[in-house]
Each structure stands twice: as structure tokens, then as C-alpha cells.
Amino acid sequence: MQFNFLPLQDAYGMSNLNSSSKPQGYSPDIRKIFIKGSRDDIAVPFNELNLSNGEKILSYTVEGGNNFSRKSWIAERHAGAHRGKTQLDLAKEGVITPEMEFAAVRESAKSGEGMAFTPEDVMKSLASGRAVIPANINHPEAEPMIIGAKYAVKVNANIGASSLSSNFEEEVKKLKLSLKHGADTVMDLSTGIDDLMGLRNAILRASPVPIGTVPVYEALDRAEGKTEDLTWEVFRDTVRDQARQGVDYFTIHAGLTEDLLPYAAARTLGIVSRGGSVMASVMMRKNEENMAYAHFDELLEICHEYDVALSLGDGLRPGCIDDACDKAQYGELENIGKLAKRCFDAGVQCFIEGPGHVPMDKIEENQRLQEKFCNYAPFYTLGPLVTDIAPGYDHITSAIGGSQIAAFGTAMLCYVTPSEHLALPDEEDVKTGLITYKLAAHAADLAKGLPNARLRDSAMARARADFRWFDQFTLSLDPMHAYEVWARKMPENCGHEPAFCSMCGPRFCPIRLNRALVKKYLNK
């Protein structure tokens, strides 16, 4: 058994342990490998977790940097008969694109025979509208990933500067931190700063995962914060400019129609969605229907041209338990279902945003109604948060609901950080929110019985049984944190693989005592 006891400059860039930590020296043996597809330019990156007993566990990751580009795939597609067609158009025609095969290999951790999800499976999922691959033709840096109920649950991270906090450098750092901790997509929610386009371009060029936005934020900035000056033309031009930049999906609050506003007014917290509140304000000031709803076909034309997916936003999501599952929320969901049908018919991929604050006994109801109204288009939820009383801990209250609704069929979870309801998240909030939500997503994958989902858990159980502490750290979502917690409380002279930890000590360790059971009944 060999370990590399190196100075703690680990692959995750964590700081060294302080001098009082004991024992010292651990670096996870995690190597990047690639699984090739049917052609040389399809090479899907994975982290290979190498354990001391020879086991190797794969975990998907992204390549990033300048080593991946879809430019040749896009050029190839647009040079032939498929010019101007979206991933959805092609899936309906039975065409398997390199993006679809890439996503299949990523989900299966395998290529060729024995894949859990074949490229044809992915193509059929897209063709039915039950899955999406957000991949703007002008964001060739984006490595294809699939969002759908039958696949691994994905996690989105929100970043974004505001007039009060953050800058270009800090937002790019948040992006990289999100990638390091496993974000599958990232939304840039920047508002109120100079050169929003410049910041977004910096994020897009640095991002190997799909980037989403809420275009009405920038549209309001272009109107100098005056809702009375926010016209359809300003909104449309903002959407087109962002699509040209390479944004992979837009949150558009088109389901928030004028007839639903009285129901929102009767709530305890009214409208808590930032984009929804802007749209409602414009509607009331101008006494007219939601511009995104009235001009939805024009939005579809823009999205089709650049193969942008639509995230149909829940502008009337409940902001507290008292407002959950009311006429405003469910009325908007019905509208969204009709819009989803129009997306599908137009060849534009879409998924559906969901709540919000929902008590535990209403979580499954939300999932089933979404499936009914939206014909099983992928569901993307913020939590839901199952209680309102935990400011500073809402990453926990929301992960409780998130793991449940994902087990019921939600395809992607939007992370919630400890700063929710309190402040703009900093780097530590981003890390905490992501790790919490990766755990929630993984718990749902286990509940769904996804192929390969249990491999890492089983390896962890065996490592614990054998007191292979360093393997346990390597298998953790945050290896260095696990190591630091363990090492901090261990005695100086315990060695590197003691058959106990500081919780029970050597005399009362149940795993150590269980070895007598194994010897007696299994003769091992």
C-alpha cells in the first residue's frame, strides 16, 4: 500500500493544514481520463478515483480550457443538409449528433457495447421533449450534457455581480469554483453594473458548461431601471444580443399573464421572482399583457436560430410556505405547459422552472402536476425549501426538498446557498451550496436506481470496513475537508491507517469489533 505524502497542495487548490493537524500528509490520487466515442473527436473527460486496493471509480468532470471545442461539429452540421436545424429538429428526424453521443458517454461512463444510455436513447429523449442538451452554436466551449428525468440529476449554480458587490475577476473565480465542485450548468444573474455584455463574454469564454441568463435583467438595465421604458423592442434586442454571444438557455417569464396578477396580489409575499416582478411591473404600468407572452413566437425564432434552450420561468413561484400551491402558481404552470408545446412544435428545446417554497407533503403533487401540464418536459426546481425559518441555513432546508422532488422525477436542481434571503453569495457560499446540492442530487440518483449510481457508495462502505482512511477521503465529495476533520482530532502517534477514529477510540470502535463477527460466522 502506497500513498503520496505530499505537501498539501492538492488537486482542488485547498490551503495547507496548519501545523497542529495530525497526522500530516495526504493528496488524493485523482487523475483525468477520457473515454472515446465512435469518432476521434468525441472524447469525454472523467475523474478517475484511484484507491489503494486497485479499485478505480469514475466521476464525470469537464475538460475546460482550450482543449475542447464544438466548432468542427457545428461547421460540419451547417455545411450540409442540416444547416439551420436545432438539436431538437435533428432528433425528431432520427439524426444522432456528436453532442448526443457525447452526452450518452458522459451518462454511461462507457462507450460502445453495454452503455447504460446509448446515443439512440439520448436522441429519442430529445425527440420526445423529455430531455434537452443546452448548447448554443456560438458557445463551442460548452461540453454537451443532458437534462432529463431518466438521467443523472443535474445541479445549477447561480453567480452574478450586482451594483453593490462583485466584479469581473470575482465572477470568473466563482465560475471556476462552481466547476471545481461539480456544477453542471451556471446562470449569470448579473445586474446593475457597467459592461454586462463584457462580463458575460468573459464568463462564456471561460465556461465548459452551459450558461443561462434571465434576459429581462439586462433589458431593464438598458431601460436605465425604468419599467415604463422597458419596451418589447428593448427586450427582444437584449435576447438576440445574448443569443449571439453564446448564452445556452434563457429564463423567460412568459407564463405570468395579466389574469394571474390579482391572485399574486392576495398572497403574503406576492411576487418574489426578480424577473417575474419586473414583468408584472411593466404589465401594470402599461396596462397590457406580458410582452414575452404576446411576442412568444418571435422569441422562438431567435432561440431556434442559435439553438438556445428556453427555461420557462416560474415568475409566480411561492416565496413562503403560506403561498405554496395556490391559484397563482398553478395557473402559471398551466400557461407554461401550453408554451412548452409551442416550443416543441417550433423545434426549440425547453425545460420548466419550478418552486420555490413548498411543504414536504405537497412536493410530489408539484412534480405530478408539472408532468401533466407540461407533457413530461424536464423540471428544474429551486429547492423546494420546506420551511421558512432558517435564514443562513437555507442550503439545508432547500436540499431536503430538492432531494425529494428529484427522486420523484425532477431533472435539475438550482442550488441554494447559505446566503439565500440575506446577501449576495461569496465564494464560500458557492462551495457550500454546490456540495450540498451535489449530495441531494446523488441521493436522488440512488433512489431512482440509476445505473452506476451506487458504485461510489459501495466503494466507500468497503473502505470504511477496511479502515482505509485515505481511500475514504478520496471517495468524498470534498476530500481535503474530510481529511482535515479526521486529522485534526487524531493523536500524534496513531500512524496513517489506524483501526479507529476519535469518535469511539480504539477500545469502542464498532467496525473494529465487528471483525469478530466476520471471523466467527464467515471464517475470514
Query: In this structure, what C-alpha cell is assigned to residue 219?
Result: 433589458
CA distance 97 to 77: 9
Same domain? 443 vs 334:
yes
Range(s) of the domain holding residue 88? 84-127
For residue 505, pLDDT over 80 is answered with no
Element (DSSP H or E) covering residue 105: helix 98-108
Query: In this structure, what C-alpha cell is assigned to residue 431?
Result: 462551495
CA distance 142 to 69: 7
For residue 496, give Cα distances in angstroms to 26, 168, 470.
10, 43, 8
- Return the DSSP state at 478: S
Same domain? 121 vs 232:
no
Output the CA torsion sign for 6, 10, 13, 17: negative
Tell me, yes or no, whether 253 lies in a domain: yes
CA distance 507 to 505: 6
For residue 6, pLDDT over 50 is answered with no
Largest distance between two CA atoms of the chain: 81
For residue 12, pLDDT over 90 is answered with no
Whole-number pLDDT of residue 495 = 57
Omega prior to 425 cis, within 30 of 0 = no
Output the CA torsion sign for 146, 149, 154, 160: positive
The pair phi, psi for residue 361, each rounded to 5°, is -75, -5
Same domain? 214 vs 100:
no
Closest CA to 465 of 516, 521, 512: 512
Whole-number pLDDT of residue 347 = 98
Same domain? 185 vs 284:
yes
Contact 31/48 with Cβ under 8 angstroms? yes
Closest CA to 97 of 115, 111, 78, 112: 78
Same domain? 234 vs 122:
no
Output the CA torsion sign for 157, 162, 168, 173: negative
The pair phi, psi for residue 44, each rounded to 5°, is -100, 125
For residue 25, give Cα distances in angstroms to 7, 472, 479, 501.
6, 15, 13, 17
Band (8; pLDDT cuts 50, 70, 90) = very low
For residue 3, pLDDT over 80 is answered with no
Whole-number pLDDT of residue 502 = 74
Same domain? 118 vs 239:
no
Closest CA to 147 of 468, 441, 361, 393: 441
Closest CA to 303 of 342, 256, 266: 342
Tell me, yes or no, whether 39 lies in a domain: no
For residue 490, give Cα distances in angstroms to 33, 460, 466, 497.
34, 20, 18, 11
Pairing of strands 412-414, 147-148: unpaired
Tell me, yes or no, whether 256 lies in a domain: yes
Band (320; pLDDT cuts 50, 70, 90) = very high
| Residues in CB range of 241: below 8 A, 6 or more apart | 197
Tell me, yes or no, whether 462 lies in a domain: no
Same domain? 233 vs 123:
no
| Final residue before a domain boundary, out of 448, 466, 481 | 448
| Final residue before a domain boundary, out of 416, 448, 480 | 448
Same domain? 92 vs 216:
no
Whole-number pLDDT of residue 13 = 31
Band (14; pLDDT cuts 50, 70, 90) = very low
Same domain? 215 vs 306:
yes
pLDDT in tens, 91-108: 999 999 999 999 999 999
Tell me, yes or no, whether 463 lies in a domain: no
Our measurement of the distance from residue 235's CA atom to the centroid of its chain's CA atoms, rounded to an integer in Å, reads 26
Tell me, yes or no, whether 216 lies in a domain: yes
Closest CA to 340 of 374, 363, 306, 301: 374
Dihedral in degrees, nearest 10, Cα atoms 121, 123, 126, 131: 40
Our measurement of the distance from residue 157's CA atom to the centroid of its chain's CA atoms, rounded to an integer in Å, reads 6
Band (496; pLDDT cuts 50, 70, 90) = low
Same domain? 236 vs 106:
no
Same domain? 96 vs 192:
no
- Within 13 A of 380's CA, how many CA atoms are on the CB side? 30
b/e map 9-18, b = 16+ CB within 10 Å: ebeeeeeebe
Closest CA to 111 of 47, 37, 44, 59: 37
| Final residue before a domain boundary, out of 425, 448, 471 | 448
Closest CA to 267 of 356, 359, 329, 354: 329
CA distance 416 to 461: 29
Question: Which residue, chain included where needed, has cell 457525447?
Answer: 102
Tell me, yes or no, whether 60 lies in a domain: no
Same domain? 260 vs 353:
yes
Q: What is the number of other CB atoms lying within 10 angstroms of the CB of residue 217?
A: 21
CATH number reported for the structural domain that contains residue 380 in this entry: 3.20.20.540
Tell me, yes or no, whether 444 lies in a domain: yes
Whole-number pLDDT of residue 24 = 56
pTM, whole model, 2 decimals? 0.93
Q: How close are the terminal C-alpha atoms of the chain, in Å?
A: 21
Query: In this structure, what C-alpha cell is assigned to residue 125?
Result: 429523449
Amino acid present at 514: N
What is the tally of structural domains in the chain? 2
CA distance 330 to 307: 29
Band (239; pLDDT cuts 50, 70, 90) = very high
Query: In this structure, what C-alpha cell is assigned to residue 138?
Result: 456560438
CA distance 57 to 53: 12
